[in-house]
Chain A
Amino acid sequence: MTLVAERPVRETAPAAPKRRRRPVLPYLLIAPTLLTTAYLLVYPLVRNVVISLQEFGLPQLVRGDAKFVGFANYVRVLNDPEFWGVVRRTLWFTAINVVLIMVLSTLVALLLVRLGRWLRFLVMGGLVLTWATPVIAATTVFQWLFQSRLGVVNWALVELGFEQYRDYTWFADGEATFGILVTLIVWQSVPFAALSLYAAMTTVPQELYEAARIDGAGAWRVFSTITFPMLRAMFGLITCLEVIWVVKAFVQIWVISQGGPGQATTTLPVYAFQVAQSLQRYDLGAAVSMLMVLLLVLALLAYFRQLYRQEQEA
């Protein structure tokens, strides 16, 4: 009875015909987004391409009469051994960071699954605290931790018997600074990856684990035959995101070392900024950053493929 009575009301609901009469509304609603995106995102990107094709130094910045020079900037950058050194360093930096982040996060996530309620809350609370720490606060604290004379790291190393670390100046040595930056980025990135992986792991049906255990499978076997294959898309997704974030990492490096000492910690974004800001070669800097975007697009395409797969599986 009620069902029959309700139907005609639905059909004559005022919303439906209104939608057909005013198809302009949705476009009015998205207009602000489109306009601001065009001016604040698309235009800068296009401008970057344009600058990279011009001769654009300080005089052109002041006078505004830059001339097009074709691909001269790209040719110059690509023929510069320094650039390739930076690319190699960026790839190396990314590989070390991402491998460490993924391995540690997986271990932490596996640990979280196995912990009792209180310990799990404790560890998750700690992870969220790390995750919440602003990059600038973290870089400042790390400079204090590794300070040469009063830093707690040097104190601990000396206590452990490594006498050579007494008053050791970490930031004067290229490899040491590189190591500190890796530590900082891994420390900041693990919480996100670990908590996401943990959340994904809780969705794996318990029966699968029980069945594996009855069959006598060890921890590694359970992980490699159940957990990892079930969550392959999630692992792929997070790996892609971490690759993108590490390649782009600028603030940590710029604030702690400005790419130094020497060139020891100059990765692509730092290099692009150095060339533009310190040498005032905006054209070359723009070309370098376009090449970086190209590299990131590769990672992004992989990310979107994973995202698509993830949606398919979910």
Chain B
Amino acid sequence: MIGRISRTTAALVVFVVSVFPVYWMVLTAFKPTRDIQSATPTFFPTSITFEHFGTAVAAKGFFSFWRNSLLVAGGAVLLALLVALLAAFAVARLRWKGRKAFVLMVFVAQMTPWEALLIPIYVIARDTGMLDTLWMLTLVYFMMTLPFTIVTLRGFLAAIPVDLEEAAQVDGCSRGEAFRKVVFPLLAPGLLATSLFGFITAWNEFAFANVLIIKNQDDRTLPVWLSSFQNTFGTDWGATMAASTLFMVPVLLIFVVLQGRVTTGIVGGAVKG
């Protein structure tokens, strides 16, 4: 009995500690300014306002930062899917010399300490005139997500029995047709899951966006904009929290879409938000 009560208490403590910061962010975003600034904070919504969301959306450049983030993350993911699908097919379906070495290379590439490459990539971007362009950022994010995309797609592909493809080929399909008509539909959920995880990585990335977009402030992405919230909102914490909440919404939606896959993904140890 005592054991059960202490377990329940512990569970509630863990729940509150993990949820509270996010709860507080959303709550502050909806609170009227006088509640935010009152000496005793209110822990439950009493009256709700959309004023702060209005301030955040009306902030200069808000929509272009959204567009930039979407473009960069979306472009990176599409590129990665395309390139990774080819490589994953070669690894999962074909036998060739150097296959093991290639897989090892992908695993090593996945552990790249990108933080150590900030300086050379800045220098390379500057030398090639790619500084202050969203293209450079897209390429970097593409490379960040590529190894992980190959590894997961290879896993998904390996799970689809080769027999299906061979049966289609026996029935007169070419190899390309067999892939398109039989494997691809089965692979679609895997493609979706993989690309959404890649999207989150690119969506959240800050360090390179901060270094590669300097002069052209309109080309910044959301994380960089949000990190300098004091320049935009000063001490308007309501608007800051509203902007944070809006920034988090797509990520949260993706997690809801992937709910079943999330745990398998993390157990694979392949990603971290």
Contacts and interface: CB of A to CB of B under 8 A. Distances in A.
B273 interface: yes
A296 B87 CA distance: 27
A103 interface: no
A276 interface: yes
A126 B96 contact: no
Contacts of B126: 61
A137 interface: yes
A200 B166 CA distance: 36
Contact of B41 (A108, A111, A133, A155): A155
B216 interface: no
A134 B251 contact: yes
A141 B22 contact: yes
Interface in A190-223: 190-192, 195-196, 199-200
User: Most chain-B CB neighbours within 10 Å: which of A61, A122, A132, A286?
Assistant: A132
B68 interface: no
B163 to A, nearest CB: 10
A136 B123 contact: no
Interface stretch (A14-22, A79-87, A224-232): A14-22
A56 B83 CA distance: 35
21 contacts: A14-B170, A30-B86, A30-B102, A33-B83, A33-B84, A40-B142, A45-B117, A122-B11, A133-B21, A133-B22, A140-B244, A141-B21, A141-B25, A144-B241, A150-B237, A187-B21, A250-B115, A273-B119, A285-B119, A293-B116, A303-B111
A269 B86 contact: no
B267 interface: yes
Interface stretch (B44-52, B181-189, B200-208): B200-208
Interface of A: 9, 13-15, 18-19, 23, 25-27, 29-30, 32-33, 36-37, 40-41, 43-45, 47-48, 51, 56, 61, 64, 108, 111, 114-115, 119-120, 122-123, 126-142, 144-145, 147, 150, 152, 155, 187, 190-192, 195-196, 199-200, 237-238, 241, 244-245, 248, 250-251, 254-255, 269, 272-273, 276-277, 282, 285-286, 289-290, 292-293, 296, 300, 303-304
A286 B119 contact: yes
Contacts of A277: 211
B139 A40 contact: yes
Size range of the interface on B? 35 or more
Interface string B239-251: 0110011011001
B85 to A, nearest CB: 9
B90 A134 contact: no
User: Looking at chain B's contact residues, is the secondary structure mostly helix, strand, loop, or mixed?
Assistant: helix
B272 to A, nearest CB: 6
Nearest to A140: B244
A251 B206 contact: yes
B169 to A, nearest CB: 5
B192 interface: no
B120 A51 contact: yes
Given A26-B90, A255-B206, A45 B120 contact: yes
B269 interface: yes
A264 to B, nearest CB: 20
A105 to B, nearest CB: 11
Contacts of B210: 254
A128 B262 contact: yes
Contacts of B263: 195, 199
Contacts of B102: 30
A123 B255 contact: no
Contact of A144 (B8, B25, B207): B25
B119 A51 contact: yes
Contacts of B25: 137, 140-141, 144
Contacts of B87: 29-30, 32-33
A126 B99 contact: no
Given A129-B22, A135-B204, A276-B118, A29 B90 contact: yes
Q: Enumerate the 10 nearest inter-chain pairs by beta-carbon distance, A residue then B residue, closest first.
A: A29-B90, A26-B96, A40-B143, A47-B120, A289-B116, A126-B18, A48-B120, A44-B120, A33-B87, A26-B90
B175 interface: yes
Contacts of B231: none
A147 B116 contact: no
A13 B169 contact: yes
Given A9-B170, A134-B204, A137-B226, A248 B7 contact: no
A14 B169 contact: yes
B19 A126 contact: yes
A140 B226 contact: yes
Nearest to A285: B119
